[in-house]
Amino acid sequence: MKYMGSKNRIAKHILPIMLTERKPDQWWVEPFVGGANMIDKVGGNRIGADINPYLIDALIEIRDCVSDLPKTNKEFTEDCYRQLRKSDDYKYKGYAGFAFSYGGKWLGGWSRDRLGKRDYVNESYKNALKQSPLLQGVRFVNESYLDLQIPDNSLIYCDPPYEGTTKYKDSFNHTDFWQWCRDRVNEGHTVFISEYNAPEDFECIWQKEITSSLTKDTGSKNGMEKLFRYKV
């Protein structure tokens, strides 16, 4: 699913690094599952969590009832999109609020191209159809990473809101997050983190410059995507 900050483009680079560390039957846990564009490429036991209930609703809708989702922009129009801001009445608000928004940002504005010819509702539906089979068996949980119950000795991949970038739905304490990562490693989990920068006791094990587009105002910009792990 389209989502602001998606790691879909770098999954082919960082997944092999992480999967070499994964043991048979080990749980794969993502406390910041986003558009599920990483977890949908992993098999076995999987937990995808996020603090935003609408995001978890969207992923469950793709997983469980994809054929019922809107298929064209005649079925779901820009006027329908405007109503999402005013009411929770629409059954698939979670999905529509992300999939039909500019850059995949929650209710970030109706997606459109300059000529107004692309049908983003249909494009999103086709993407959902492809993703739905890959999400079968994923346990989606609406929880903060701080409250998430994680099975013993899991492999945890974190893609938190990046420090200093476009604000997500909720404020985020990065100092608390890095300490949480240290604590999980000390409990026996394997933890990987995507970020631009990290504290000195975390080592960068992969990096690549990526062009991203987060908002209508800022447009595209380059950033050095990095994968970190705690030095133990």
What average pLDDT does this structure show over 170-177? 89
Structure tokens at 232: 């133990």
What average pLDDT does this structure show over 132-141? 98
What average pLDDT does this structure show over 209-221? 61
Residue 219 pLDDT more than 60?
Answer: no
How far apart are alpha carbons 202 and 57 in whole angstroms?
Answer: 33
Q: Residue 120 — very low, low, confident or very high, per pLDDT cuts 50/70/90?
A: very high
Integer Rg of the chain from CA: 18
Q: What type of residue sits at position 220?
A: S
Cα distances (Å, whole numbers) of residue 4 to 111, 117, 137, 160, 199: 13, 23, 24, 12, 24
Number of Cβ atoms within 10 Å of the Cβ of 192: 20
The pTM for the full model equals: 0.92
What residues form DSSP beta bridges with 204? 228
pLDDT at residue 220 in the model: 60
Cα distances (Å, whole numbers) of residue 157 to 35, 69, 114, 146, 160: 14, 29, 36, 14, 10
What average pLDDT does this structure show over 127-151? 98
How far apart are alpha carbons 99 and 105 in whole angstroms?
Answer: 8
What average pLDDT does this structure show over 76-101? 96
What average pLDDT does this structure show over 104-117? 89
- Please state, for a pLDDT cut of 90, what percent of the chain lies above it: 82
What fold characterizes domain 11-230? Rossmann fold (3.40.50)
How far apart are alpha carbons 120 and 126 in whole angstroms?
Answer: 10
What average pLDDT does this structure show over 135-160? 98
Residue 216 pLDDT more than 50?
Answer: no
Q: Residue 169 — very low, low, confident or very high, per pLDDT cuts 50/70/90?
A: very low
pLDDT at residue 163 in the model: 85
In this structure, of 33-47, 59-73, 213-227, the range with the lowest mean pLDDT score is 213-227
Residue 135 pLDDT more than 90?
Answer: yes
* Contact predicate 47/131, CB 8 Å: no
pLDDT at residue 137 in the model: 98
Residue 222 pLDDT more than 90?
Answer: no
